[in-house]
C-alpha cells in the first residue's frame, strides 16, 4: 500500500511584530472577562507586508505582520463548540475603519490560555475567511496571563518571553485534500514604536516607584510630573549614567581580552572599530567655535522667550478697559 505522506504546506506567515499596546489590551480584556469564561478572544488589527526575504519558493512569498491594535469580541465556548459574535466583529470593524486609521486591517485574532484545541482551529479558519487569505497567513496571538515560575527568576538567566506566542495555521494535506488545520508557532518579536517606548519607560518608572512605596523625588506613588527644568536635568543625568555604565563594561571587556582572560569575538571587535570611527573628531578649535555659537543661539532663544512671556503677562494686565 502506498504511504502517502501528510505534508504540511509551508506557513505563509514568517514573522510577526507586535506592539506592546496589543499585549496590554489583551491582558486588560482578560481582566475584565465575564465570570465563568476561561479564555477571551478578540481581533487583531495591523498591516501585512509580503516579502521575499526568506527566499520562499512558494508563490506569493512570505508575510510579515505588524500588529498595532486590537479589539475584543465576545464569544461563548464549551468543550465541543464555540460561537463567536460575528456581528459584533463586523460592527466594531466598521467603526475602526471609519475612525480613519490608515491601513489598519484584520490580520488575525488573539486568545489567552491555550491554543491546541479544535475550537481554535475553527476560529482560525473563520478569521482566515475574514481576511480573505489562506489559513497560513493569519496570525494568532496567544497571551498567557498567568505567572510562570521562570519569569520570576529570569533577570539573570536566559531571556525569554513567557507570556506571548504567535501561531499560524498549517493545513495538512493528504493527496490534495486538506485534512486538518493545526496551529504552529511563528517567530515574533514585541517591538514598540518610538512613542510607545517612551510611554513604557515612563510607566515602568512610575509604577515601579509606586510599588516601592514612594521615593524621595517629590512624586507620590504613581504620579507623573509635569515637565520642568529639574526633570529634564534628572532624566539627562540618568541617561548619562547609563552611558557611563555601558562604557565601563566595554572597557572591562577590552581589558579582559587584552590580558587574555577572554577570547575576543571578532564581531564585537568590528563593532567597536566602527563605533570609534563613527565618533566625529570633536576636539579642537573648530569644535569650540561651533559649540560657542550654538550655545549662544540657544541662550538668545531663552532670553527672548523669557522676555516675551513677561511682556505677555504685562500686556494682559495693562491693556484693559479700566486702565
Partner 1 sequence: MPSLTAAAVVAGEAPGGYLQAAGSGTSAATGGAGAPDAVGDRDAASSHGAAVDAAGRGVPRPTTLTPIGTPIMSSSALDALQESVPLARQVELDALVLLRIVGACERASGVGAGNPLDNAGSRSWGSRPGEWGAADASCAGQLLGWLDSDESSTAKRPVLHVTSAFTFPRTATARTGAPLGAHLQPQQRAQRLREASRLLRDVNREHQPVGWFYQADSGQLSSFINADWTEMQYQYQRCLKNAVCVVYDPLRKWSSATLGIRVVRLSAPFMQEYRRLLEGAATAAGGGGRGAAAQGQAFGRGGGRVVAGSTFTSEALRDLALCSQTMIEDVPFTLRSSALVEQYLAAYGVRSTATIPSAGRLHHHLDDIDSERLRLGRERALAESTVETLVQDMDELTREQSRYQHFLRSHARTLAQQAEWLRKRRADNEQRIAAGHEPLPEDKMPPFLSNTQEPSRLETMMVVRDLVECLRDLETSVAGRCEKEFGARSLCQ
* 204 lies in the site for partner 1, by CB under 8 A: yes
**Dihedral, 237, 241, 243, 245 alpha carbons, nearest 10:** 180
* 240 lies in the site for partner 1, by CB under 8 A: yes
* 229 lies in the site for partner 1, by CB under 8 A: yes
**What's the rounded Cα separation, in Å, for the pair 128 and 255?**
55
* 305 lies in the site for partner 1, by CB under 8 A: yes
* 113 lies in the site for partner 1, by CB under 8 A: no
Q: Which of residues 42-81 bind partner 1 (CB under 8 A)?
A: 47, 66, 68-69, 72-74, 76
Of 6-14, 53-61, 130-138, 245-253, which part binds partner 1 (CB under 8 A)?
245-253
**What's the rounded Cα separation, in Å, for the pair 158 and 210?**
28
Q: What is the DSSP string of 106-143?
A: EEEEEEES---SHHHHHHHHHHHHHHTS-GGG-EEEEE
Nearest to 127 by CA among 113, 142, 110, 108: 108
φ and ψ at 4, to 5 degrees?
Answer: -95, 120
Q: Which of 227, 261, 278, 285 binds partner 1 (CB under 8 A)?
A: 227
Q: Sign of dihedral through CA atoms 141, 147, 150, 156?
A: positive
User: Please, which residue, 7 or 286, has the CB nearer to partner 1?
Assistant: 286
Of 53-61, 93-101, 128-136, 173-181, which part binds partner 1 (CB under 8 A)?
93-101
* 282 lies in the site for partner 1, by CB under 8 A: yes
* 236 lies in the site for partner 1, by CB under 8 A: yes
Note the helical H segments in 259-280: 266-278
Burial level of 56, CB count in 10 A (0-12/13-18/19+)?
middle
Quick check: 22 and 69 in contact, CB under 8 A?
A: yes
* 213 lies in the site for partner 1, by CB under 8 A: no
* 246 lies in the site for partner 1, by CB under 8 A: yes
User: Please, which residue, 1 or 99, has the CB nearer to partner 1?
Assistant: 99
Q: Which of 6, 222, 255, 289 binds partner 1 (CB under 8 A)?
A: 222
User: Please, which residue, 122 or 200, has the CB nearer to partner 1?
Assistant: 200
Of 51-59, 124-132, 171-179, 309-317, which part binds partner 1 (CB under 8 A)?
309-317
The separation between the first and the last C-alpha atoms of the chain, rounded to the nearest angstrom, is 107
**How many amino acids of this chain bind partner 1 (CB under 8 A)?**
116
Question: Minimum distance between the CB of residue 126 and partner 1, rounded to whole angstroms?
Answer: 16
Q: Which of 179, 243, 258, 286 binds partner 1 (CB under 8 A)?
A: 243
Strand, coil or helix: 179:
strand
User: Please, which residue, 5 or 98, has the CB nearer to partner 1?
Assistant: 98
Q: Which of residues 250-279 bind partner 1 (CB under 8 A)?
A: 250, 252-253, 262, 265, 268, 271
User: Please, which residue, 2 or 152, has the CB nearer to partner 1?
Assistant: 152
Strand, coil or helix: 1:
coil
**What's the rounded Cα separation, in Å, for the pair 235 and 238?**
5
Q: Which of 193, 255, 258, 286 binds partner 1 (CB under 8 A)?
A: 193
**What's the rounded Cα separation, in Å, for the pair 30 and 18?**
18
Beta pairing class for 177-190 and 13-18 = parallel
Q: Which of 10, 52, 53, 238 binds partner 1 (CB under 8 A)?
A: 238
Quick check: 86 and 37 in contact, CB under 8 A?
A: no
Question: Minimum distance between the CB of residue 142 and partner 1, rounded to whole angstroms?
Answer: 14
* 5 lies in the site for partner 1, by CB under 8 A: no
Amino acid at each position: 500500500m502506498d504511504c502517502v505522506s501528510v505534508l504540511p504546506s509551508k506557513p505563509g506567515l514568517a514573522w510577526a511584530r507586535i506592539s506592546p499596546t496589543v499585549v496590554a489590551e489583551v491582558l486588560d480584556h482578560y481582566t475584565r472577562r465575564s465570570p465563568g469564561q476561561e479564555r477571551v478572544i478578540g481581533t487583531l488589527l495591523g498591516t501585512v507586508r509580503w516579502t521575499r526575504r526568506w527566499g520562499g519558493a512558494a508563490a506569493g512569498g512570505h508575510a510579515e505582520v505588524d500588529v498595532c491594535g486590537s479589539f475584543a469580541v465576545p464569544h461563548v465556548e464549551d468543550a465541543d463548540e464555540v460561537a463567536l459574535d460575528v456581528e459584533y466583529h463586523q460592527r466594531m470593524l466598521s467603526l475602526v475603519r471609519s475612525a480613519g486609521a490608515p491601513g489598519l486591517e484584520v490580520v488575525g485574532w488573539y486568545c489567552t490560555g491555550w491554543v491546541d484545541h479544535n475550537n481554535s482551529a475553527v476560529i482560525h479558519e473563520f478569521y482566515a475567511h475574514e481576511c480573505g487569505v489562506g489559513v497560513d497567513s493569519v496570525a494568532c496571538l496567544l497571551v498567557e496571563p498567568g505567572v510562570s515560575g521562570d519569569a520570576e527568576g529570569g533577570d539573570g538567566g536566559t531571556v525569554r518571553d513567557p507570556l506571548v506566542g504567535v501561531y499560524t495555521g498549517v493545513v495538512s494535506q493528504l493527496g490534495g485534500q486538506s485534512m486538518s488545520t493545526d496551529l504552529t508557532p511563528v517567530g515574533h518579536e514585541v517591538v514598540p514604536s518610538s512613542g510607545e517606548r517612551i510611554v513604557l519607560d515612563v510607566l515602568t518608572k512610575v509604577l515601579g516607584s509606586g510599588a516601592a512605596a514612594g521615593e524621595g523625588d517629590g512624586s507620590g506613588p504613581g504620579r507623573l510630573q509635569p515637565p520642568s527644568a529639574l526633570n529634564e536635568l534628572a532624566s539627562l543625568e540618568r541617561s548619562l549614567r547609563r552611558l557611563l555604565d555601558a562604557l565601563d563594561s566595554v572597557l572591562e571587556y577590552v581589558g579582559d581580552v587584552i590580558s587574555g582572560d577572554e577570547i575576543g569575538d571578532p564581531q564585537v571587535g568590528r563593532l567597536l572599530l566602527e563605533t570609534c570611527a563613527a565618533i566625529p573628531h570633536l576636539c579642537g578649535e573648530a569644535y569650540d567655535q561651533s559649540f560657542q555659537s550654538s550655545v549662544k543661539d540657544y541662550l538668545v532663544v531663552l532670553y527672548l522667550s523669557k522676555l516675551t512671556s513677561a511682556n505677555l503677562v504685562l500686556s494682559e494686565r495693562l491693556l484693559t478697559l479700566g486702565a
